[in-house]
Amino acid sequence: MSIGFVKYFNEKSLFVSIFKEILDLFLIFLHNLSQFGKIIAFYFISQQVILLLVALSTEGKLTPTRKK
């Protein structure tokens, strides 16, 4: 049980670190945009963050299961 939990936790932390790196790149990209571009980019980034939070909160509960 504990080994599976450690593996699960390591995969989540790897995923979170990759997400943080992508977010840092987006922030650098946003710094170089105009004001209108920042509004549009913020809208799309916030959509992606909401989708990520929904995916993390469901964690496979929405996968189809076969009835036997």
Q: Fill in the amino acid letter for 33.
A: L
Which residues have C-beta within 8 Å of that of residue 41, sequence separation ≥ 6?
26, 29, 30, 33
Rounded distance, CA 9 to CA 4, Å? 8
Q: What is the pLDDT of residues 7-55, one digit of tens each?
A: 555 556 667 777 778 888 877 777 777 777 777 778 888 888 888 777 7
To the question of pTM greater than 0.75 for the whole model, the response is no
The answer to whether the beta carbons of residues 40 and 26 sit under 8 Å apart is no
